[in-house]
Structure 1
């Protein structure tokens, strides 16, 4: 994470050499996740929020480079799933997500003298998560972070194939959006972006139930209660704990995604127009009046 922050800082300092091509953006919108506790890979159900701060550099008429930070909250509960067996599983989670990303926006129609500039984006991100849930009322109802409980046997003696998952991971952001020029300095935008990750534990659910006695002995009774929550449901209070290796979750990786609006400010007017192209090559695209002449 420290190396990634230094990379963002280096990008930002180098961009200052041509400050007329640098934009500072605020982003806000919805955040959601795709995983074992959601019925669909993309949905507005149980969506929460994200906020972000970006720095963007116009490298050329069609290419904009970007570095950004996001904070988001995601959550999901089995009780809202359409599948009866998953509702019976009765698991839930929530997590804050802190993300830093580097990305490139390709404005396929160009940015020169256009009011609207649609684009696609892609890059690399590093994010930090830490899933938690709330204990049963009978156990105090407190907020409980799930990783230390080894709910699927991660890190328990006798289960060498179940390794603890890392809370800081790499992701690949992909998305599309449009920027709209309001003035020579101010731009509004809309973007939807999907983060492909390489972990199945954003929700702390991935594989199979671990042996109840091993979990009880090494992590305690709260771990058992948080791993198997069916008995909290009416008419299921006496349901037995699943036998070792009973399926608890799926093998597909968890992902998360954002959708929202941005407002951008050009740090220095620099005598040129917004969406005019940057860098040594890009500045030749500038309009003398700094005004858009085309919409498309």
Structure 2
């Protein structure tokens, strides 16, 4: 979280020194793709998301945006059609907090047209912290438990994953000019997580006794949950048995409506400032 704040403070002068200036709002859904969910978009797995930021127009097509996005992702093996995943019986949720700076390009000039498709891409950082609930309903954060042996001496190649990561947001959308200085948009944004541990699942099971000795019984319980099923296998899987798919990293997504509210006075840019005028 600290890295996100430092990142946004560092880029904020790029926007605050320029006009025309816009406040941007976002409301929609967040979603995830990874070891507990193959499909990038499922209505059952969607969670509410929102965002806010600031936008500076470079010209009548190109803008620069800085902002924060907030959402939640999650998935449950119980909802899978895959027999192996149902037997594994894992689940997770995580809040996502993202800070980003994006370049946005409108294909048409919204001072002349009411509709324009657009694309965007940029850089960002996000914070996540996967958790689940134990058999007593208590919330349990998974990263400290080293469920796949991260940080254990017996597995020197498995390092603890960081909860703040770099990402490269990109996406597409459609803008509709509602009024002067008021533009509605609908967009789909894609984020490579650049880690395979957004869901705390990646590689293989580790030795039961080694995990128990290093992290305790709760780590063992959250690493394999097939024994919680009515007819589930009570035997903890052997060391090295597949737990996830490390060949593909995770993704998360934001899709929904954006609203850009122009704050520039009569569309004029103060002399000497860097952003040319754009009139809606």
Measured against the shorter chain, the TM-score band is over 0.9
Q: State the SS of the aligned residue for 1:243.
A: coil
Q: Tell me whether 1:268 sits opposite 2:267 in the alignment.
A: no
Change (3 A) 1:130 1:4: closer
Match of 2:245 in 1: 250
Residue 10 of structure 1: how far off its partner (Å) = 4.7
Cα contact 2:110–2:177 (8 A) shared by 1: no
Q: Structure 1 residues 169, 14: CA separation in 2 closer, same or farther (over 3 Å shift)?
A: closer
Runs of 4+, deviation exceeding 6 Å: none
Is 1:15 the counterpart of 2:15? The answer is: yes
Residue in structure 2 matched with residue 160 of structure 1 by the alignment: 156
1:73 aligned onto 2:72:
yes
| In structure 1, C-alpha distance between the alignment counterparts of 2:159 and 2:109, rounded to whole Å | 47
Number of matched residues? 276
Match of 1:105 in 2: 104
In the TM superposition, residue 40 of structure 1 has moved relative to its aligned partner by: 1.6
Pick the aligned partner of 2:176 from 168, 177, 180: 180
Scaled by the length of structure 1, what TM-score is found? 0.87
**CA distance 1:156–1:111, shift in 2 (3 Å):** same
Distance in 1, Cα, partners of 2:44 & 2:33: 11
Q: Mark the CA change 1:61 to 1:152 in structure 2 (over 3 Å): closer, same or farther.
A: same
Q: In 2, distance between residues paired with 1:57 and 1:204?
A: 38
Q: Aligned pair 1:218/2:214, yes or no?
A: yes
Q: Deviations over 1:251-274 (max 9, x none)?
A: 1101100111122211123346xx
* 102-111 or 141-150, which deviates more: 102-111
Q: How does 1:131-150 map to 2 (within 5 A)?
A: 131-136=130-135, 140-150=136-146
TM-score where L is the length of structure 2: 0.92
Query: How far did residue 142 of structure 1 move?
Result: 0.6
Counterpart Cα distance in 2 of 1:4 and 1:134: 27
1:18 to partner: Cα distance: 3.3
Q: Deviation at 1:4?
A: 4.9
SS in 1 for 2:55: strand
In structure 1, runs of 5+ residues without a counterpart are 273-278, 291-296
Report the CA distance shift for 1:4/1:48 in structure 2 as closer, same or farther (over 3 A).
Answer: closer
Q: Is the 8 A contact 2:4 2:98 kept in 1?
A: no
In structure 1, what is the Cα distance between the partners aligned to 2:178 and 2:225? 52
Query: CA separation in 1, counterparts of 2:2 and 2:266?
Result: 33
Corresponding residue number in structure 2 for 1:91: 90
Instruction: Deviation per CA, 1:73-129: give whole Å up to 9, x if none.
Output: 111000111111111110000001110011111112233322112101111110000
- Please report how far the alpha carbon of residue 2 of structure 1 lies from its aligned counterpart in structure 2 after TM superposition: 4.6
User: Match of 1:182, SS?
Assistant: strand
Q: Does 1:196 align with 2:192?
A: yes
Q: CA deviation at 1:7?
A: 4.5
Instruction: Extract unaligned runs of 5+ from structure 2.
Output: none
Give the drift of 1:39. Answer: 3.3
RMSD: 2.0
CA distance in 2, matches of 1:202, 1:41: 14
Following superposition of structure 1 onto structure 2, how do residues 217-236 of structure 1 map, counting pairs within 5 Å? 217-236=213-232
